[in-house]
Amino acid sequence: MAAEDDSAEDRWVDDHAGPVVRPYAVTGGRARPVTGTFDLISMVLATRPHAGGESGLGPEHVAIVAFCQRMQSVAEVAAHLDLPVGTVRVLLGDLLARDLVKVRPPGGGAGVPDESVFEAVINGLRAL
């Protein structure tokens, strides 16, 4: 989770504050990520403990890196930041271009999962 000494910017986008700017202002008017395709359940993991010192990044970028210290789906990132998924995709594209996150597409990236995945999920659900 985020460290104690969060920058002031971080606190602007925590759960309680809600969005402080319109979604497209966050992305500088961009509707498409510079790189990558981000399914709702693509998994995101930060590659660094924080992105505070990076130039050209906004508080939302920093917040995503902080949140993705534990791997999260794109949908969870959007829910956590209380931003639309389209906006989060743009921000993730910026982070991916800087190698600040790594991203895994759903289903291991190979289309329909194989039988072992179905069996693992069924067994996992039975154990709930």
Partner 1 sequence: MDYGHSERAAGAPSLPTAIKILIAGGFGVGKTTLVGAVSETKPLRTEEVLTETGIGIDDLSGVEGKTTTTVAMDFGRITISDDLVLYLFGTPGQDRFWFVWDELALGAIGAVVLADTRRMADCFPSIDYFEERGTPFVVAVNCFDGARQYRLDEVQAALNLDPGVPVMLCDARQRDSARDVLITLLEHAMKTREARHRGIEG
Contact with partner 1 (CB under 8 A): which of 23, 54, 58, 69? 23
109 binds partner 1 (CB under 8 A): yes
Torsion, Cα 51 102 118 125, to 10 degrees, reads -10
Q: How far apart are CA 117 and CA 111, in angstroms?
A: 12
- Residue 8, H or E segment: helix 8-12
96 binds partner 1 (CB under 8 A): yes
31 binds partner 1 (CB under 8 A): yes
5 binds partner 1 (CB under 8 A): no
Applying CB under 8 A, the site for partner 1 has a residue count of 51
125 binds partner 1 (CB under 8 A): yes
What is the number of other CB atoms lying within 10 angstroms of the CB of residue 32?
A: 10
Contact (CB, 8 A) for 71 and 48: no
- List, edge to edge, every strand of the sheet that includes 72-73: 72-73, 43-46, 101-104
**Residue 3 or 107: which CB sits closer to partner 1?**
107
Contact with partner 1 (CB under 8 A): which of 78, 91, 92, 94? 78
**Residue 8 or 127: which CB sits closer to partner 1?**
127
- Residue 45, H or E segment: strand 43-46
Binding interface with partner 1 (CB under 8 A): 23-24, 29-32, 35-37, 39-43, 45, 47, 71, 73, 75-76, 78-79, 84-87, 96, 99, 101-109, 111-113, 115, 117-122, 124-126, 128
